[in-house]
Structure 1
Amino acid sequence: MQTDMPLAELLTHLDRLAQQSLALWEMPPNARARLINVSENATYLVEADGGYKSVLRIHREQYHTRRAIECELAWITALKEAKAVVTPDAYSGKDGEIIQEARIDGLENPRFMVLFEFVEGVQPDEAGDLEGPFEELGEIAALTHEQSKLWPRPANFERLVWNVDTVFGDTPNWGNWRDAPNVTPEIATVLEAVEVRIRARLDAFGAGKDRYGLIHADMRLANLLTGPGGTRLIDFDDCGFGWFLYDFATGISFMEDDPRVPALKAAWVRGYEKMRPLSDVEKAEIDTFVMLRRMALLAWIGSHIEAPEPQAMAADFARVTAELGADWLAKTPTQG
């Protein structure tokens, strides 16, 4: 949530905006919003007497246009209609519009907002056995990719792109990895070589329709909720166009150095192939996407350093990224 305003001050304004904006939807008059997550957006749990719950998302300024948010919600609806995955519904406001817009003194511009159904459920425990959850995650990923290939998208469909240019190019989605904390000259030398090899391999790999399309792009266990109604995939805010295998890489975000990753990759592939085959060439490229994602996350830490999560990870993230990169370079030729 990049802004020139200190985070504490920004959150004070956003809290006032959240409380004020609840009146845009039909809900109990005593409803209150409580901040539960800050990343690209500010996410609030809305609660009221009688057990009412919903989830309010206040969008980051200038991250998505109204049309891009409309396209996200259209894909969520299409996935549900195709019975590909179960996702939380979004509520229309009193004016009949799902996307609401409001402003408040202290913030220069208005913000887009969406109110989602609250889903009972728990996230898989990262400290526990993750092979089962990753197998399920692979199956869910394959279902979304199959629907993505077949779905006739609405006209003027607008979403983010997650490819080499939007990670490494002149206007990257999350900034330049070189600007991240603790990227020393020695680390930069390794990561420059990693970038060059990622570019070469993915240029050779190609972006055919069987490999590249509309993806969730943030398919972490934190976005998987298991509850009485089954397993639900949440938070499509980063969905956009990218390689299908990038969804595995997003699944292990921030834990790429975990010794369980090879087993988790095998479990994900096992689940994926229940619904959709993967060629040997595709399987061989999975680790390239892991490095692409890791480099994107390094950039993300640099461009979001005002938030608590990036601050907590910043000390060692560049060093570990270079260690992962050096290991990947040693075992990965320039082209597959």
Structure 2
Amino acid sequence: MMDFDALTHDQQLGILQETAEAATANYDLPADVSVEMINLSENATYKIAARDGRRWALRIHRDGYHSRTAIQSELAWLTDLRQTGIVPTPVPVAGKDGEQIQRVGHPRLAQPRHVVLSQWETGSEPGIGEALGEPFELLGEVTARMHIHARQWKRPSWFSRHVWDFETSLGEERPLWGRWRDGIGVDAAKARLFGRTAELVGRRLTAFGKGHDRFGLIHCDLRLANLLIDGKTVKVIDFDDCGFGWYMYDAATPISFYEHEPQAADLIRSWTTGYRRVLDLPSADEDEIPTFVMLRRLLLVAWIGSHAETDLAKSMGLPYTEGTVGLCEAYLSKF
């Protein structure tokens, strides 16, 4: 059997499509549903639509990224967040066997993939060109409630998620999304600049520390694509990267891929305004948000380099790496 990763991108898409179509048989769904890919990132996500208008979201997990226990941990947290009224989150749909996580195989896959089906969430993804001040204030409030929940929630004994610290983000030995040095267009000059920036980020995070009030269970990926605005309600989706990290990292991820835009600073201020309505935000924590923005930016340079086949990476590409230069220079001059 040919290694899946050795196949062409189109071949991989075809196999994933067939796997998604086969997965629908594991659920009590109408026989005439359509299956349409809507996103390919760490996982492949599909819109499942019935002729009567009902819709669902089906996610095929990437092989080797999360264990079954880790996926179950994700579902446990997002379910408790929804059931306790903290924030609207996706509603998992159990398969015919009563399990929320299904295993679906394909002749061209070395082993079956984990699959999760959720009810479709209404709302629209906000765009960077829109008036986002009020939505970001609401997001700040929601994030603060999530942080309170994370500190108080009694996690199941088997709970297991990635740790997003400096070493797993920008470290040389075990970065979860690849090395920033392997980003698109990182030449010798950029490598020196990015290296100095990463070293400073690392020193500041070490000084900032991982105390209970600063480091815990967070969403880790509150970018615009993972938010749905439904009237006055902000819904949070895609908890695939949730894990243990710095709480203020959740202040940086909403401007992911747009850190260089002129409105980024105002959006963060809107976020902190909303956050403070719910939870105290010490000035020392707020002052370190630029470090988390820089951490996220370099992490995304690494992600784009290691996920070059995805549409999102293709849309960012070299300009994103080049745009990181000015951010690094500004960060180094600030600190």
TM-score normalised by length of structure 1: 0.96
After the TM superposition, which residues 266-277 of structure 1 pair with which residues of structure 2 at under 5 Å, given as runs? Answer: 266-277=269-280
1:102 equivalenced with 2:113 (yes/no): no
CA contact (8 A) 1:33 1:46 kept: yes
Matched with 1:308 is 311
Q: CA–CA distance in 1 between the matches of 2:73 and 2:280?
A: 28
Matched with 1:198 is 201
1:183 equivalenced with 2:186 (yes/no): yes
Which of 220, 225, 229 is the matching residue for 1:222? Answer: 225
Matched with 1:296 is 299
Helix, strand or coil at the partner of 2:163? strand
Q: CA–CA distance in 1 between the matches of 2:5 and 2:294?
A: 28
Identity of aligned residues (%): 42
Instruction: Kindly state the Cα deviation for residue 165 of structure 1 after the two structures are TM-superposed.
Output: 0.8
Count of paired positions: 331
Runs of 5+ in structure 2 lacking a partner?
A: none
Matched with 1:129 is 131
1:117 equivalenced with 2:93 (yes/no): no
Deviations 1:233-282 (A, max 9, x none): 11101100000110111111000000001111110000001111111100
Matched with 1:246 is 249
Q: CA–CA distance in 1 between the matches of 2:143 and 2:105?
A: 36
Which of 38, 42, 45 is the matching residue for 2:44? Answer: 42
CA contact (8 A) 2:87 2:236 kept: yes
Q: 1:186 to 1:228 in 2, by over 3 A?
A: closer
Runs of 5+ in structure 1 lacking a partner?
A: none
Q: CA–CA distance in 2 between the matches of 1:4 and 1:208?
A: 43
Instruction: Kindly state the Cα deviation for residue 330 of structure 1 after the two structures are TM-superposed.
Output: 0.3
Which of 239, 242, 246 is the matching residue for 1:236? Answer: 239
Instruction: Kindly state the Cα deviation for residue 56 of structure 1 after the two structures are TM-superposed.
Output: 0.3
Instruction: Kindly state the Cα deviation for residue 82 of structure 1 after the two structures are TM-superposed.
Output: 2.1
Matched with 1:147 is 149
CA contact (8 A) 1:123 1:226 kept: yes
Give 2:216's aligned amino acid.
G
Q: CA–CA distance in 2 between the matches of 1:227 and 1:267?
A: 19
Q: 1:329 to 1:274 in 2, by over 3 A?
A: same
Helix, strand or coil at the partner of 1:36? strand
CA-atom RMSD, angstroms?
1.3
Instruction: Kindly state the Cα deviation for residue 229 of structure 1 after the two structures are TM-superposed.
Output: 9.0
Instruction: Kindly state the Cα deviation for residue 147 of structure 1 after the two structures are TM-superposed.
Output: 0.1
CA contact (8 A) 1:54 1:117 kept: yes
Give 2:160's aligned amino acid.
E
Q: CA–CA distance in 1 between the matches of 2:7 and 2:246?
A: 35
Which of 300, 323, 327 is the matching residue for 2:326? Answer: 323
CA contact (8 A) 2:222 2:250 kept: yes
Q: CA–CA distance in 1 between the matches of 2:52 and 2:143?
A: 36
Q: CA–CA distance in 2 between the matches of 1:228 and 1:136?
A: 12
Q: CA–CA distance in 1 between the matches of 2:138 and 2:275?
A: 8
Q: CA–CA distance in 1 between the matches of 2:234 and 2:199?
A: 39
